[in-house]
């Protein structure tokens, strides 16, 4: 017969973190529905009562980057636990996955939320202390009827009636023994040095009761907090979360998270260099190496430990696999102490395990067999999901760290963005689920092995080969220029066409036979970008330097109406002129191409301010093919239309717009 949690039973929760608070909230709600009255007490040495308000507040660090995934946000909202605005630091508009070729911008759908929160009270200069996520959940638990004891749990043992007894070292230093009907262990896997020693003693005492218990697998992590300021983060990481899977030959990293939080930036690093480091002694060296990485400098220019304070750092253990046998009669682990998902969403894992445990002890029983049966699905879920997660991350890291494979993956992603609705991106949706943690690894792995993803990658591979050959043909050299996403979402193309044509008082054709559009954010003034565009056709211009084609201004003044730029084939007496017909200083340039091969051509450059204080450069080119007046000419132009390498525009202008960005930013800084 199962042992049932009776009315007026006492439940003790060791730990006031999210797992403990979520368990207490769910248990009290379930008890109320079943008309049971329970006494629930949370015990933690970090919780103190404020002298004036008498409110309980968690102090100290919670060793976490602090990201709330879409799944967790929805689960919290469904349970009336949606974080209030004062708890949320940043609500993200994009998640960026860094690749060796280009970065992948993943827009957060309007119906989903990804946000950052502070967990504890650190950094020390950050007021107010009580606005962290953990304090928010603790207050919700207290509102439901839970109580709090400040103290460290030293040991756990059974009474003669086989009820768990906790030995607690209270705030006054006095040791007290508390008997209960059930104990929930929500200690996590991290604690400050002194508390860690006590926690180890506590876990050892638990293992005497449950010899088959094996703690979850962990991996060392370096987490540190920078304070670059709100203005800097708005300019360089406005509402953007970054995931990076590569370090360097000297700094081996395989999972990096950059999380903006108002004026602070949380950074979490894992990898072989962290595994083998002596932390915290090597912290400063690793941080300096990390901030000097070229791809990190591209995201965070001019940030160094010398000019940007490191306000706090810690070396937590990241849970990467579930524990074994986390249950005993009237005792259960929950949260990280039970297990967590690999690299993603430990808070969501804590939510799931807390909900399941609360339902189990109310509806099934509190004996070991009932606990194992009630929580079996959670343990199996974590174990299976992390097995698939290891394979998935190994695969993704290998791709993103490879120049050619990363380029194929980006071309796959860019092709989907350009030609398909967002809901129809096979590979894009896989990347979104990996980046946001919005799906189980098991499901993601199945999707990545599906035929739609295979066909999408095959298309990306073919286009990548074609683009590489085109770059070789035109002699395009990336030199030290960064490679950035320039694709415009299919859903936004018409809106952007209208926004760039309206200032010029023109209307762009709704469906020209050849149309291409590229956009890029530039951290430079509109004037600096405009001046760089004025080099179109100049000898010292870095963009449109093409083998076999000479691009040269033959008359007029840069960025002045009437100036003419000529495209001339070097080996043949064939050329085409483009004439600047309209100009809005520091805003727009409109060129009309000569009707040699085409008709109704447009070449438009537009500079538009962004909300984060930067500017966005858009290049639009379009034309119709000539039709011919006679049979032979009509056949010729029809063949020309079908054999015209329109993809060459993508290769050439993609290179050009990245060069313009690099030069404009270089001149600004």
Tell me the CATH number at 581: 3.30.530.20
Gap between the Cα atoms of 425 and 415, Å rounded: 9
Pick left, alpha or beta for residue 480 (phi over 0 → left; psi -120 to 50 → alpha; otherwise beta): alpha
Tell me whether residue 515 is in a domain: yes
Instruction: Give the count of domains, the chain.
Output: 4
Question: What angle do the packed helices 376-400 and 441-448 form, to 10 degrees?
Answer: 40
Is residue 202 domain-shared with residue 230, that is, in the same domain?
no
C-alpha pair distances (Å), 186 with each of 3, 21, 189, 335: 22, 9, 9, 6
Q: Which of 90-104, 150-164, 545-559, 594-608 shows the lowest per-residue confidence on average (mean pLDDT)?
A: 594-608
Question: Containing domain of residue 537, as a range?
Answer: 490-668
What confidence score (pLDDT) does residue 196 get?
A: 56
Instruction: Give the pLDDT band (50/70/90) at residue 420.
Output: confident
Higher pLDDT, residue 582 or 199: 582
Is residue 165 domain-shared with residue 228, that is, in the same domain?
no
Tell me whether residue 83 is in a domain: no
Is residue 378 domain-shared with residue 511, that is, in the same domain?
no
C-alpha pair distances (Å), 575 with each of 371, 592, 593, 600: 80, 15, 11, 17
Q: For the chain, how long is the longest CA-to-CA vector? A: 105
Task: Read off the pLDDT of each residue in 306-318 and give the average, rounded to a whole number.
Answer: 89
User: What backbone phi and psi angles, to 5 degrees, belong to 433?
Assistant: -65, -35
Tell me whether residue 96 is in a domain: no
Count of all residues that appear for the chain in the document = 669
With 0.75 as the threshold, say if the pTM is over it.
yes
Q: Which residue has the tokens 């993956």?
A: 409
Tell me whether residue 100 is in a domain: no
What confidence score (pLDDT) does residue 400 get?
A: 92
pLDDT above 60 for 195: no
Is residue 34 domain-shared with residue 164, that is, in the same domain?
yes
Q: Rounded to 10 degrees, what is the CA torsion of 200, 203, 204, 206?
A: 160
Give the pair of three-digit tokens for residue 376: 């079996």
Is residue 279 domain-shared with residue 338, that is, in the same domain?
no
Tell me whether residue 340 is in a domain: yes
Is residue 35 domain-shared with residue 155, that is, in the same domain?
yes
pLDDT above 80 for 1: no
pLDDT above 50 for 63: yes
Instruction: Give the pLDDT band (50/70/90) at residue 636.
Output: low
Is residue 326 domain-shared with residue 195, that is, in the same domain?
yes
pLDDT above 50 for 488: yes
Final residue belonging to a domain, choices 315, 332, 364: 315
What confidence score (pLDDT) does residue 193 get?
A: 45
Task: Read off the pLDDT of each residue in 245-258 and give the average, rounded to a whole number.
Answer: 90
Tell me whether residue 504 is in a domain: yes
Higher pLDDT, residue 349 or 667: 349
pLDDT above 90 for 413: yes
Which of the 8 DSSP states describes residue 267? E
User: What backbone phi and psi angles, to 5 degrees, belong to 555?
Assistant: -160, 160
> What residues contact 628, with CB distance under 8 A and at least 6 apart?
634, 635, 636, 637
Which of the 8 DSSP states describes residue 324? B
Strand, coil or helix: 358: helix
Tell me whether residue 3 is in a domain: no
Is residue 194 domain-shared with residue 248, that is, in the same domain?
no
Give the pair of three-digit tokens for residue 552: 């040269």
pLDDT above 80 for 323: yes
Q: Which helix (H) or strand (E) is 39 found in, with range?
A: strand 39-44
Strand, coil or helix: 347: helix
Task: Read off the pLDDT of each residue in 60-74 and give the average, rounded to a whole number.
Answer: 86
Is residue 460 domain-shared with residue 350, that is, in the same domain?
no
> What residues contact 259, with CB distance under 8 A and at least 6 apart?
65, 66, 67, 90, 116, 241, 265, 266, 267, 268
| Nearest in space to 68 (alpha carbons), one of 331, 259, 246, 217 | 259
Q: Kindly report the average pLDDT of the chain as a whole number.
A: 90
Distance of CA 14 to the CA centre of its chain: 32
| Nearest in space to 529 (alpha carbons), one of 484, 488, 585 | 585
Strand, coil or helix: 114: coil
Is residue 147 domain-shared with residue 265, that is, in the same domain?
no
Task: Read off the pLDDT of each residue in 250-263 and give the average, rounded to a whole number.
Answer: 92
What confidence score (pLDDT) does residue 536 get?
A: 95
**pLDDT of 452-476, one tens digit each?**
999 999 999 999 999 999 999 999 9
Taking residue 602's Cβ as centre, other Cβ atoms within 10 Å add up to 20
Gap between the Cα atoms of 173 and 175, Å rounded: 6
Q: Which of 360-369, 537-546, 595-604, 647-656 shows the lowest per-residue confidence on average (mean pLDDT)?
A: 595-604
Q: Is 162 exposed, middle or buried (0-12, 13-18, 19+ CB in 10 A)?
A: exposed
Q: Which of 1-5, 397-401, 529-533 shows the lowest per-residue confidence on average (mean pLDDT)?
A: 1-5
Gap between the Cα atoms of 430 and 375, Å rounded: 29
The CATH number covering residue 204 comes to 3.50.50.60
Strand segments (E) across 512-586: 514-522, 549-555, 564-569, 575-584
Please state, for a pLDDT cut of 70, what percent of the chain lies above it: 95
User: What backbone phi and psi angles, to 5 degrees, belong to 364?
Assistant: -115, -50
Task: Read off the pLDDT of each residue in 375-393 and give the average, rounded to a whole number.
Answer: 95
Task: Read off the pLDDT of each residue in 626-647 and give the average, rounded to a whole number.
Answer: 72
CA atoms in the 13 A half-sphere facing the CB of 115: 21
Give the pair of three-digit tokens for residue 181: 């009907």
Q: Which of 12-16, 327-331, 359-363, 490-494 shows the lowest per-residue confidence on average (mean pLDDT)?
A: 490-494
Task: Read off the pLDDT of each residue in 428-438 and give the average, rounded to a whole number.
Answer: 94
Task: Read off the pLDDT of each residue in 641-645 and give the average, rounded to a whole number.
Answer: 68
Gap between the Cα atoms of 112 and 407, Å rounded: 28
| Nearest in space to 433 (alpha carbons), one of 117, 108, 90, 66 | 108
Gap between the Cα atoms of 49 and 54, Å rounded: 5
Inter-residue contact 51 to 93 (CB < 8 Å): no
C-alpha pair distances (Å), 463 with each of 409, 410, 425, 647: 11, 11, 17, 9
Is residue 191 domain-shared with residue 227, that is, in the same domain?
no
Tell me whether residue 113 is in a domain: no
Q: Which residue has the tokens 């962990």?
A: 218
Is residue 348 domain-shared with residue 292, that is, in the same domain?
no
Q: Measured in Å, how far apart are the chain's first and last C-alpha atoms? A: 74
| Nearest in space to 81 (alpha carbons), one of 13, 43, 29, 148 | 29
């Amino acid at each position: 017969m199962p042992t049932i949690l009776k009315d007026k039973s006492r439940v003790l929760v060791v730990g006031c973190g999210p797992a403990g608070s979520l368990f207490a909230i769910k248990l009290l709600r379930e008890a109320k529905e079943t008309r049971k009255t329970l006494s629930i007490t949370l015990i933690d040495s970090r919780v103190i009562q404020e002298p004036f308000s008498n409110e309980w507040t968690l102090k100290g660090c919670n060793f976490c980057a602090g990201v709330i995934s879409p799944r967790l946000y929805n689960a919290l909202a469904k349970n009336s636990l949606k974080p209030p605005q004062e708890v949320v630091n940043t609500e993200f508009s994009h998640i960026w996955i860094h690749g060796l070729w280009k970065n992948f911008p993943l827009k957060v759908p309007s119906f989903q939320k990804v946000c950052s929160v502070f967990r504890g009270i650190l950094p020390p200069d950050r007021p107010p202390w009580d606005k962290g996520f953990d304090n928010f959940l603790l207050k919700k638990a207290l509102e439901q009827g839970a109580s709090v004891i400040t103290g460290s749990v030293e040991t756990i043992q059974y009474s003669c009636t086989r009820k768990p007894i906790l030995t607690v070292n209270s705030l006054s230093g006095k040791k007290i023994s508390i008997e209960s009907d059930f104990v929930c262990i929500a200690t996590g896997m991290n604690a400050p040095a002194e508390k860690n020693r006590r926690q180890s003693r506590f876990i050892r005492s638990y293992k005497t009761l449950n010899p088959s218990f094996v703690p979850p697998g962990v991996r060392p992590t370096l987490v540190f907090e920078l304070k670059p300021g709100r203005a800097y983060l708005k300019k360089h990481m406005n509402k953007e979360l970054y995931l990076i899977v590569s370090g360097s030959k000297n700094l081996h990293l395989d999972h990096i998270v950059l999380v903006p939080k108002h004026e602070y930036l949380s950074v979490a690093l894992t990898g072989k260099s962290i595994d083998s480091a002596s932390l915290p002694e090597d912290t400063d060296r690793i941080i300096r190496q990390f901030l000097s990485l070229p791809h990190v400098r591209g995201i965070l220019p001019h940030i160094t430990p010398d000019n940007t304070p490191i306000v706090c750092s810690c070396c937590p253990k990241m849970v990467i696999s579930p524990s074994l046998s986390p249950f005993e009669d009237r005792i259960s682990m929950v949260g990280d102490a039970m297990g967590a998902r690999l690299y993603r969403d430990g808070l969501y894992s804590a939510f799931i395990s807390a909900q399941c445990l609360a339902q189990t002890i109310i509806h099934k029983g509190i004996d070991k067999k009932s606990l194992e049966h009630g929580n079996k699905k959670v343990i199996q879920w974590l174990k299976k999901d992390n097995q698939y997660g290891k394979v998935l991350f190994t695969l993704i890291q290998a791709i993103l760290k490879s120049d050619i494979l990363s380029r194929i993956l980006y071309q796959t992603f860019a092709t989907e963005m350009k030609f398909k609705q967002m809901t129809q991106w096979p590979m894009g949706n896989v990347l979104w689920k990996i980046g946001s943690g919005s799906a189980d690894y098991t499901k993601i792995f199945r999707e990545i092995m599906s035929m739609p993803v295979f066909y999408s990658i095959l298309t990306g591979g073919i286009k990548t080969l074609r683009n590489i050959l085109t770059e070789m043909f035109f002699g395009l050299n990336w030199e030290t220029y960064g490679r950035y996403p320039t694709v415009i979402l299919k859903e936004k193309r018409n809106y952007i066409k209208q926004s760039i044509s309206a200032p010029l008082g023109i209307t762009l054709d709704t469906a020209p036979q050849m149309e291409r559009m590229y956009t890029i954010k530039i951290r430079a003034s509109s004037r600096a970008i405009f001046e760089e565009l004025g080099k179109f056709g100049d000898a010292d211009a870095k963009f449109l330097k093409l083998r076999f084609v000479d691009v040269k201004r033959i008359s007029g003044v840069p960025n002045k109406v009437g100036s003419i730029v000529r495209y001339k084939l070097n080996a043949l007496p064939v050329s085409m002129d483009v004439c600047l017909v309209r100009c809005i200083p520091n805003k727009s340039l409109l060129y009309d191409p000569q009707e040699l091969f085409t008709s109704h051509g447009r070449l438009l450059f537009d500079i538009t301010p962004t909300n984060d204080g930067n500017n966005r450069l858009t290049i639009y080119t379009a034309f119709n093919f000539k039709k011919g007046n006679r049979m032979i000419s009509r056949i010729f132009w029809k063949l020309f239309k079908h054999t015209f390498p329109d993809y060459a525009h993508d290769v050439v202008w993609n290179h050009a717009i990245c060069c313009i960005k690099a030069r404009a930013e270089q001149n600004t800084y």
